[in-house]
């Protein structure tokens, strides 16, 4: 018997609102990399108009390198909640057995190991689904797809979900430092335009041109996401984004500090890409790019904190916030719809607008695409339908049998109390408690 995902009516507004708005940032961050021009830097043509330069500054300051860390944090947050629900369900499962006056500590430890193995297997099934869907999307539509990278990240993350808090902090700090090191290959200072993998010239070139790049992105992408993923696990254990009223000091500080650092740290590169300043020597340029990336990670955390505070003010969501949250609940489907749009608009053997649109034009296209996906998601919400790819992923994760509906409030009530469960020798009545990680704590 397995517990399935939460019903959409039981989900908290904060994380879904953040995911929905983050989809806009991802669309804005991706589209300008399709543009062809005689001279390109960081994915932006160097010969744009004054309006294009202004849009470039806005994107480099508030979007580039800021959206994906936020997505990584929300991904880790969601994984932490899945782990918690699975552990609560398994430890609360009834089992007819005789009562025993003494708790069996070896039995408790054995049950803990079995629970962890079961949860890891569930996460690995979900990871496999993400990898397959992501690679198919990368080959057919958008080679920069990150779903496969998140699948690989989840394969690794399945071993992180039961670490103690202090070790998760160590992981976050180590990978923050590693990704903050200067590097000549950082995309924000790359002079390369779109290659054959981004803009294939024929259908027959899709697999040979795109599959090697997609596999490389899937293999190396998790390195940049492990820091926000670990922080998301920590936040998910405490349900910070779902209960911002309990963290009125932490969230404003995180929002102000993270976004303030992101805006200030982006200025050297943002002004350079906007044509206001000239490129420095290569070593200095690499250091500025590293600063842009490091502060972008902080900005992603700041965005998540800010949107949680916004959700706190929206105690009665209106039609706009409900529609954006609906997109967040169907974020995979909306993300894949974006990929299809980029393929149709930019692929040379389709509309082939990569040499026609400007930075401003791609920003308008990204915003219009996001609005269309929000409307589609809201129609699904009104009809009571999940997104098709969310349904597929959940079926792969939890199995093809019909999942039992579980009320959110009852599930949390179970996790707040001591849970009784039968040990491996058939002894019932062993009182045990869940810690913040959702892990069984022996008496």
pLDDT digits (tens, 9 = 90+) for 245-266: 899 899 999 999 999 999 999 9
CA–CA distance, 208 with 186 (Å, rounded to integer): 24
In the prediction, which pLDDT does 312 show?
Answer: 85
* Domain membership flag for residue 20: yes
Segment 278-298, tens digit of pLDDT: 999 999 999 999 999 999 999
Q: Are the C-beta atoms of residues 421 and 95 closer than 8 Å to each other?
A: yes
More confident residue, 428 or 305: 305
- Partner residues linked to 420 by β-bridges: 431
Residue reference for tokens 């080959």: 139
pLDDT at 402: 41
Residue 273 lies inside a defined structural domain of this protein: yes
Tokens 């039992």 map to which residue? 404
Q: Is 269 exposed, middle or buried (0-12, 13-18, 19+ CB in 10 A)?
A: buried
Lowest mean pLDDT among 36-45, 63-72, 307-316, 330-339: 307-316
pLDDT given at position 332: 95
Q: Is residue 1 part of a domain?
A: no
Query: Residue 349 in contact with residue 201, Cβ under 8 Å?
Result: yes
User: What pLDDT, in 10s, does the model give residues 119-159?
Assistant: 899 999 999 999 999 999 999 999 999 999 999 999 999 99
In a domain, 2, yes or no: no
**Average pLDDT over the chain, rounded to an integer:** 85
Report d(CA 327, CA 312) in Å as an integer.
Answer: 19
Enumerate helices (H) and strands (E) in the chain, giving the number of each: 14, 5
SS (H, E, C) 345-356: HHCCCCCCCCCC
For residues 103 and 129, which has the higher predicted lDDT (pLDDT)? 129
pLDDT given at position 442: 40
Range of the domain at 297: 8-441
In this prediction, residue 56 carries a pLDDT of 97
User: In this predicted structure, what is the pLDDT of residue 102?
Assistant: 46
Lowest-confidence segment of 28-42, 64-78, 110-124, 169-183 by average pLDDT: 110-124
pLDDT value at position 91? 65
What was the pLDDT predicted at 290? 94
Region 40-44 average pLDDT? 93
| Rg from Cα positions in the chain | 23
Least reliable range by pLDDT among 4-18, 191-205, 412-426: 412-426
From CA 164, how far away is CA 168, in angstroms rounded?
Answer: 7
CA distances in angstroms from 441 to 190, 333, 422, listed in the order given: 50, 38, 14
Q: Are 422 and 95 in contact (CB under 8 A)?
A: yes
> Residue 99's beta-bridge partner residues?
428
pTM for this model (two decimals): 0.84
Q: What is the pLDDT of residue 158?
A: 92
User: For 364-375, what is each residue's pLDDT tens digit?
Assistant: 999 999 999 999
What does the pLDDT read at residue 435? 54
pLDDT digit string, tens, across residues 417-430: 333 333 333 344 44
d(CA 284, CA 429): 65
Residue 335 and residue 144 in contact, taking contact as beta carbons nearer than 8 Å:
no
In the chain, how many domains are there? Answer: 1
Measured CA to CA, the distance from residue 89 to residue 229 in angstroms comes to: 24
Q: Residue 76: inside a domain, yes or no?
A: yes
Q: Is residue 417 part of a domain?
A: yes
The pLDDT of residue 100 is: 45
How far out from the chain centre does Cα 282 lie?
A: 32
When pLDDT is averaged across residues 322-334 and rounded to a whole number, the result is 95
How far is the C-alpha of 195 from the C-alpha of 422, rounded, in Å?
Answer: 59
Question: With DSSP H G I counted as helix, E B as strand and the rest as coil, what are the percentages for the chain, rounded to 5?
Answer: 65, 5, 30
């Amino acid at each position: 018997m397995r517990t399935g995902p939460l019903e959409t009516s039981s989900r908290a507004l904060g994380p879904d609102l953040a995911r929905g708005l983050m989809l806009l940032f991802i669309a804005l961050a991706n589209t300008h990399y399709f543009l062809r021009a005689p001279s390109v830097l960081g994915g932006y043509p160097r010969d744009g108009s004054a309006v294009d330069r202004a849009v470039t500054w806005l994107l480099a300051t508030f979007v580039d390198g800021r959206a994906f860390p936020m997505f990584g944090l929300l991904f880790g947050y969601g994984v932490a909640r899945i782990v918690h629900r699975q552990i609560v369900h398994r430890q609360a499962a009834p089992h007819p057995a005789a009562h025993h006056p003494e708790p069996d500590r070896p039995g408790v430890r054995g049950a803990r190991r079995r629970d962890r193995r079961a949860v890891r297997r569930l996460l690995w099934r979900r990871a496999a689904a993400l990898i397959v869907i992501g690679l198919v999307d990368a080959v057919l539509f958008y080679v920069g797809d990150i779903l496969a990278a998140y699948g690989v990240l989840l394969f690794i993350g399945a071993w992180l979900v039961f670490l103690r808090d202090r070790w998760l902090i160590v992981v976050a700090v180590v990978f923050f430092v590693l990704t903050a090191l200067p590097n000549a290959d950082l995309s924000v200072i790359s002079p390369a335009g779109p290659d054959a993998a981004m803009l294939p010239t024929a259908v027959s070139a899709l697999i040979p041109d795109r599959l090697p790049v997609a596999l490389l992105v899937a293999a190396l992408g998790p390195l940049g996401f492990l820091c926000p993923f670990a922080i998301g696990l920590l936040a998910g254990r405490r349900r910070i984004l779902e209960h911002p009223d309990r963290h009125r000091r932490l969230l404003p500080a995180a929002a102000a500090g993270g976004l303030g650092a992101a805006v200030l740290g982006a200025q050297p590169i943002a002004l350079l890409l906007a044509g206001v300043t000239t490129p420095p020597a290569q070593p200095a340029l690499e250091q500025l790019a590293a600063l842009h990336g490091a502060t972008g990670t902080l900005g992603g955390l700041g965005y998540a904190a800010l949107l949680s505070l916004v959700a706190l003010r929206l105690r009665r969501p209106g039609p706009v916030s409900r529609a954006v949250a609906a997109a967040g609940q169907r974020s995979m489907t909306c993300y894949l719809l974006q990929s299809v749009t980029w393929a149709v608009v930019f692929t040379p053997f389709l509309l082939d607008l990569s040499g026609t649109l400007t930075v401003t034009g791609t920003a308008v296209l990204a915003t219009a695409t996001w609005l269309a996906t929000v409307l589609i998601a809201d129609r699904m919400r009104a009809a009571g339908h999940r997104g098709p790819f969310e349904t597929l992923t959940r079926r792969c994760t939890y199995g093809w049998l019909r999942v039992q509906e579980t009320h959110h409030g009852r599930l949390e009530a179970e996790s707040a109390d001591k849970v009784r469960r039968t040990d491996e020798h058939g002894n019932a009545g062993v009182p045990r408690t869940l810690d913040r990680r959702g892990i069984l704590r022996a008496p």
